[in-house]
Structure 1
Amino acid sequence: MVGKHITTENSRMKMFDVIISGGAMAGATLALALDASFGGKLRIAVVESCDFTAQAHPGFDARSIALSDGTVQILRAYQLWDAIEPYATPISRIHVSDRGHAGMTDLEAGRLGMSALGYVVELADVGQVYHRLLQERPAISLFCPATIHSVERTTDEVRVRLDEQSILHGKLLIAADGNASTCCRQLGIDPEIHDFEQVAVIANVELSQPHQGQAFERFTSCGPLALLPMTRQRMSMVWCVRPDSLADMTDQDDETFLARLQQTFGWRLGKMNRVGTRVAYPLKLTYRSRAVSHRFAIIGNAAQTLHPIAGQGFNLGIRDIATLVEEVRRHPDDVGCYAALSAFQHRRTPDRQKTMAMTSGLVHIFSNEWFPAVVGRNLGLMAIDNLPVLKQPLLTRTLGHVSR
């Protein structure tokens, strides 16, 4: 049985080429990308512990993410973008500033000859699209809800036992199940963790006037504040604050919180009329230095979970996906062989390290209120805005036009 929920009434032993642990953004994208790249000839299992519906799945909750132009190009190559685009809001301009200081820089799509710098999508919308596409692909089997109870590897295959006792055999197991990855834990691949000592407060904000596709990254005394354009005259807010400020941010009534947000951000978007439910997430850099092991690969947040300061998380993860797909395609007879995984590790290491260094560096630079640091970062922002040689590296990573 393929493309449907698998139950305990099915045969206990099942043969696949690839087994993917995790069916949210990274896992679902990878399954669909592999299916498209192999023309539906690869047998793929997706094991997901949560009920795979947009309403119940925490991986497809009320949050929004920004997709860079490079990410859109990858999704288009896998015939996924056409299904997602109706739910996407284009970003026409990105404004980066340090509140109360002169430093700022602008990126504008029109000046670059582009229709959009990127797009914003709501995870709940993408979840519905992906759920439908997964069910339509006959070579993809969903084991959901199900959890991986144990993993055993031999020279030629990997065997995964599910909690309901089904055994999946495959050539390659891929962890796409987040920073607390069950597979990684069972195989003893522990992450390095750096606590940013910040919490992200996330909510949707309704405006009194059109946002015109503008996105903002503003560094405030409370922490970085990002506002991304959404449908229906809304902005997706991510406000990173210290843990000791969290109670004030979440316990305030909507009117008081909106007044604080308005005062901190200003009036570039006009009056902010309403705010939705506020949710908080602790911010830590979680990084696994090796993204492969014997017949095992790690992608997305399972490989690295970043600070949201520059919106690089999923965009970095989809480059993991694209590179892994390219390497396993070179070895269609054994998609989990050492050569494929070694090449994947070698190609992904520079991008992962540079992106993590950039995002972590921005956090520390713009969270420092020491006066020389404030002066230095504002001079840096002004220099980036006026000197193309400095602006190009920022533009390259923002657009996702990064070498893999």
Structure 2
Amino acid sequence: MTGLLAFVESPVQLLNVLEWAHAQSAAADPSGPGLPGVPGRPGSALPHHATAPPPCAPPGAGSLGPAGAPSVVPTRSAPAERTPTPGGAEVPAAALTIVVLSPNDPMSRGQLRRMAQLARDDGFSVRWQEARDGRGSLPRTLRDLAPLLRAAERVIVGDPFSRYVQLLLTLFAPKHLTVVDDGTATMEYAAQLARGERLVRWHRRGSGGPRELVLAPVSAAARRKLAPTRRRTVEIFTSLPVDPPPGTVVTANTFAWTRARFGPPRLTRGADLVGTSLVETGVVDPDRYARAVADLAGDHGATRYFAHRRESTEKLHRIAVETGLEIVRPDLPLELIARRGPIGRTVVSFPSTVVHTLPLALAGTGVKVAVCEIAPEWLRENASPRAQGFLAGVAGTAAFEVDRLTTSSSQRLEFG
């Protein structure tokens, strides 16, 4: 049986691996209604009420109350799916092994555990690998994963910029490689691959210091392993607008699995704001960001702020105090939270992947998505020189039905 192996380090990566598997099954049986292998099944929705989490679930989605303890929404199990091998033959879903290279961030770990359970509910084998738990974790991880890597015909990765993934691909180069979305990084990966450049995250400035110099040989080798050759195919599975680098195949991610599994959502009358970690990554000034959030909330009557999993508690507390917004820390990727509902009739986001993914996940629901562009004066002095152009590109290439928001010199935000 052909080996299918996926490495994920974030909840969105795992979601998009499930979307890839669903798309493969749909391609193998395009006439089948509902979910592949489950004739006539309309897809289940998560219940809207909150309840106690299952034993494996971390603190999850919900409003941050006085004690800071959010509520959690349970998931329903779903029957197993089937996914085809690279050759097109349909095999049990267990043929795809998903390895979670667990991060240290508690919010990311929590969302990953919930996504891992959804994958297991669909019949996939999920292996939780503590890849960053101190000295010795790297050699132990390499030793544990070596047999899987040697047997894998196709490897699916969500973050080609990950040093862990780069090292694994350098040691074990697969015959077939699929890159799924991990945010807007896919756009930069495709562009750098096409230009033959080394792989560097768009928000990083300069060489990155001694650590980057030490890891430069790994990065250079990985760049070759992440490129197509006569012996290796490379597929980019994405919901983002990318130009296919020479020799690659770009497959559209339409979020069909998400739409089949969840919703349609109940809509609220107000608007919801989607947060970003641009402050935490050192790109945007925190004071400018806080003022922009307050203006957006006032202009659109927003009542809730969906926090990015990497946003700091201090920043979120400031936003809650200064704006009165209800802070929501989702326990699943926002595409699933929005599809489950309830969700505002208007969703406003700063430049991020969700301005591309939410219109797909919420297709046919009547929800309007808007993107607020980042003004140049919002950027920190030490932000990467590429930051403004990249963020403008993310906003400018959003789906046609996404409204653009611009800023004036008075910092008021209006429809452009």
TM-score scaled to structure 2, two decimals?
A: 0.32
Greater relative CO, 1 or 2 (CA 8 Å, sep 6+): 1
TM-score scaled to structure 1, two decimals?
A: 0.32
Larger strand share, 1 or 2: 1
